[in-house]
Amino acid sequence: MAQADLRLSERPTLRSPVLITAFRGWNDGGQAATVAAGYLVEQWDATRFADVDPEAFMDFQAVRPTVTLDEGLSRRIEWPENAFYHAAIPGTDRDAVILVGVEPNYRWRAFTDLVIGLARDVGVDLVVTLGALLADVPHTRPAPVTGAATDPALVEELGLQLSRYEGPTGIVGVLHDACRTAGLRSVSLWSAVPHYVSLAPSPRAAKALCVRLSDLLGAPIDMTDLDEAETEYASQVSEAVASDPDTQAYVEELEQRADTIESFAEGGELPTGESLAAELTRFLREQEHRRKDDPPADQP
Task: Give the model confidence (pLDDT) of 43-64 as tens digits.
Answer: 999 999 999 999 999 999 999 9
Band (76; pLDDT cuts 50, 70, 90): confident
pLDDT of residue 1: 44
| CA 274 vs CA 40, 49, 161, 279: distances in Å | 28, 37, 10, 9
The verdict on pTM exceeding 0.85 is no
- CA atoms of 5 and 109, how far apart (whole Å): 13
Q: pLDDT band at 297, cuts 50/70/90?
A: very low
Half-sphere exposure at residue 62, Cβ-oriented, CA atoms within 13 angstroms:
13
Strand pairing report for 6-8 and 47-52: antiparallel
Q: What sign has the CA pseudo-torsion 222, 226, 228, 231?
A: negative
The tens digit of pLDDT for each residue in 186-221 reads: 999 999 999 888 888 999 999 999 999 999 999 999
The domain 16-298 having CATH identifier 3.40.50.300: the answer here is no
3-state SS, one letter per residue, for 50-71: EEECHHHCCCCCCCCCEEEEEC
The pLDDT-based confidence of 299 (bands split at 50, 70, 90) is very low
DSSP, residue by residue, 3-52: GGGEEES-----SS-EEEEEEESTTBGGGHHHHHHHHHHHHTT-EEEEEE
Mean per-residue pLDDT, 248-274 = 66
pLDDT tens digits, 130-163: 999 988 889 988 888 888 887 788 888 777 766 6
pLDDT at position 239 is 87
Report whether 210 contacts 36 (CB < 8 A). yes
Q: What is the mean pLDDT of residues 266-276?
A: 49
CA 191 to chain centre: 8
Neighbours of 165 (CB within 10 A): 18
pLDDT of residue 289: 57
Provide the pLDDT for residue 279: 52
Q: Which of 80, 116, 100, 124 is nearest to 40 (CA)?
A: 100
Domain ranges of the chain: 16-298
Question: Terminus-to-terminus CA distance in the chain, angstroms?
Answer: 36
For the chain, the average pLDDT equals: 85
Sign of torsion, CA 89 183 276 299?
positive
